[in-house]
Structure 1
């Protein structure tokens, strides 16, 4: 096991100060020595977060905040620092670190999860630029107020009884960092090169239209949807995205593709991930990423009866965090037509 301290020491002299005597950080008496070290150092790296003594299968967290005096430690050390400040966080779940995100003295935040035996060198290589990170958050980092918006006994993912939805698919409130967020030492730009934008599906005499609920009860399209179990689901959405590395450093980019259902469908998801690819692009170069997505798997919604249905109308395919998008229209035709 190589610790972050040992790995960082390979890059330069490190003046290590504990800051907290334990993870729960009940006391603040160790903060002044950490501030003094930061005031003299060329750069300051603060390692904070939580561990399995705070979050585990048998330990429910009561909030999304850093424990004890950790927030105070981070703010005071950052304010005292002479040089740039990097905050490294250990955790499995999200943390409300809005205070650090909004602190102008903290120039970078690195989420390390719970690293393995080579986690120390991985952290050091990212901080010193030997490796260009290209990860994406696999979960939403909520603000702490989210824990007061719903009881933990509420299981539905959809918003219900005045409670907000869960996961990126149903929650549309403010967050610390959204699902899929991630930074790089370079900048990538997307261009949609080609795309098929519609699918016309002719139903046979054994395939029937299926009613779904709309927010506007008066809206009644000729064929609102068809259950996916009744479709052969051979249609595909295929498109190409050019990923341009506009920076000066080689890097990999995770291209995430989402689908959004037609507007007006009641109680459905906001968006859902339907595909992703990681692509390595040298500095100043570009690469084309091709996607072929199954229409039923990518555009289906689940109604309150737990049926998987493919709605007709105008769906939307988005790439990245709404960087580029294009419409995709589903049209059903009766077997007699």
Structure 2
């Protein structure tokens, strides 16, 4: 139990422990919540909302450097830019059951991605489905491109063998890169769609790079830009 991330390597790597329950500010009912999980009265379906770093991370970060990307006093921050090995990654989480993701889109439905989730375990449970986009394109002109970016999440409650479709809208804003002068750019190239850790689909944009203004736009697959 802690207010923020801790270096839990010694628990994760110890043969004495099979699992770990981490709780943030749980309030007055934290004891009841923990006991319900430990004694199988509640099947947890949560995702870690932060990345947990090793203790040495704080020695490499200046308190005066608030940048997200690396510098001489900063080794990157958050799941978007940190290239080191986190103790626990953003989005980590376990359940007493298991879930299967399957891509459920045809070639026409591209603005709203559909993913089928199936409970393949032996008890009912919740799953939080995370949708990320990852650019394969080389950056230009000092742009900052995240390793990946969360563009949607959805909680589903499923009985044993039950399936349900979840939907994730993707807009051009999720594909933009930002130059150091603050301008936003949309680049042609390949963009991977990840559901959790699974690579589900690759979206390709063709045409010329454009500087993005404050206007709304949604795209279709293989669109010329």
Band the TM-score falls in, shorter-chain normalisation: 0.7 to 0.9
The aligned residue for residue 165 of structure 2 is 288
Q: Tell me how large the CA RMSD over aligned residues is.
A: 2.2
| Residues 1:239 and 2:150 aligned together | no
| Residues 1:100 and 2:100 aligned together | no
| Residues 1:310 and 2:186 aligned together | yes
Unaligned runs of 5+ in 1: 1-89, 199-235
1:325 CA displacement: 2.4
Between the aligned partners of 2:84 and 2:33, the Cα distance in structure 1 is: 33
Q: 1:269 aligns with which of 146, 161, 168?
A: 146
The aligned residue for residue 259 of structure 1 is 133
| Superposition TM-score, scaled by structure 2 size | 0.85
The aligned residue for residue 91 of structure 2 is 180
Of 131-140 and 296-305, deviating more is 296-305
Residue pair 1:195, 1:238 contacting (<8 A) in 2 also: no
Between the aligned partners of 1:257 and 1:245, the Cα distance in structure 2 is: 18
The aligned residue for residue 64 of structure 2 is 153
1:138 CA displacement: 0.6
Deviation digits for residues 176-205 of structure 1 (CA, Å, limit 9, x no counterpart): 10001000001111111115599xxxxxxx
Evaluate the alpha carbon distance shift between residue 179 and residue 151 of structure 1 in structure 2; reply closer, same or farther with a 3 A threshold: same
Between the aligned partners of 1:311 and 1:92, the Cα distance in structure 2 is: 39
1:247 CA displacement: 0.6
Runs of 4+ in 1 over 3 A off after TM superposition: 195-198
Between the aligned partners of 2:17 and 2:85, the Cα distance in structure 1 is: 21
Q: 1:189 aligns with which of 87, 97, 100?
A: 100
Q: What SS does structure 1 have at the residue aligned with 2:21?
A: strand
Residue pair 2:67, 2:74 contacting (<8 A) in 1 also: no
Evaluate the alpha carbon distance shift between residue 195 and residue 99 of structure 1 in structure 2; reply closer, same or farther with a 3 A threshold: farther
| Superposition TM-score, scaled by structure 1 size | 0.58
1:149 CA displacement: 1.9
Between the aligned partners of 1:314 and 1:195, the Cα distance in structure 2 is: 18
Computing the radius of gyration over CA atoms, which structure comes out larger, 1 or 2?
A: 1
Residue pair 1:195, 1:240 contacting (<8 A) in 2 also: no
Paired residue total: 207
Residue pair 2:105, 2:113 contacting (<8 A) in 1 also: yes
